[in-house]
Amino acid sequence: MPILYSFAGLPGTGKSTLARSLAGDRGAVYLRIDTIEQAVRDAGLLRGPEGYLIAYAVAGDNLSLGRDVVADSVNPLGITRNAWRGVAGRCKSGFVEIEVVCSDAAEHRSRIETRSTDVPNLRLPTWSDVMNREYEPWDRSHIIIDTSDLDVGQSFAALQRSLLWG
């Protein structure tokens, strides 16, 4: 049975790094909302939730083909989290929610202020943007990976352990 791994977390927590690593490790389809939204933005068409809607459809297509999918997005609202769950349900696939956090505010800020992007034309958020972003609390159990005191390898190992025990 294919699995949809839905990542969530504020920018700069290490979410994309972990999502990309998991996709590579599992041979899964990798869907990054930043990439999708920037392509739609470059076409002058981004008005609202188009990036998420496109990703839900592409995820469903791949799950229906029996492929695991890793969805990488801030996923800040209950409505988006529920939509990912709905995609998995419609495709009769497994579903795992993973929230990536950086509990050390100074470390998180440093990451935001020093990072770069591999998505052409993507404007990275400032620390103020991140702090003012709407991000609803979770209302159900999910995997949480705190990357504040871990390097990439340690964070990925923590994720792999959580997936085995979850």
pLDDT at residue 36 tops 60: yes
What domains lie within the chain, and their CATH numbers?
3-165 (3.40.50.300)
pTM score, whole prediction: 0.95
Specify the 3-state DSSP secondary structure of 10: coil
At 15-30, the pLDDT tens digits run 999 999 999 999 999 9
At 140-154, the pLDDT tens digits run 999 999 999 999 999
**What is the CA angle 86-147-101, rounded to 5?**
45
Q: Report how far residue 127's alpha carbon sits from residue 134's, in angstroms, rounded to the nearest whole number.
A: 14
